[in-house]
Amino acid sequence: METKDYSVTVQDKQGRVAVLSINGASVDECVAIGLSLSEVCEQLETNAFWLAVREGEIDESAVLVDTTDRPL
């Protein structure tokens, strides 16, 4: 399986937007060890979300507004 890199866009209540990039090869590695595609994507997206929060790009109020090439 070769998952393409994809992104999810989130926006917080202040109007700040962050585009979270997800590496397709990371998705494939996790699926190869037996995790489901949906749980892998959810975990990688969650990790990217919290990284963006820690870096001050967005706050915890951010919600999903768009996806590009999400493999689900």
Q: Which residues span the domain enclosing 34?
A: 6-68
User: How many angstroms separate the Cα of 7 from the Cα of each of 38, 42, 53, 71, 72?
Assistant: 15, 12, 16, 10, 12
- Arithmetic mean of pLDDT, 44-61: 98
Whether 61 is in a domain gets the answer yes
**Two tokens, residue 58:** 């967005």
Cβ neighbour number for residue 47 with a 10 Å cutoff: 13
* pLDDT 10s digits, 12-50: 999 999 999 999 999 999 999 999 999 999 999 999 999
Q: Where are the alpha helices (DSSP H) in 5-58?
A: 24-32, 37-54
Q: What is the pLDDT at residue 1?
A: 74
Q: How many domains does the chain have?
A: 1
pTM of the model: 0.93
Q: What's 6's DSSP letter? A: E
Does residue 34 belong to any structural domain of this protein?
yes
pLDDT at 2 over 80: yes
For residue 1, is it within any domain?
A: no
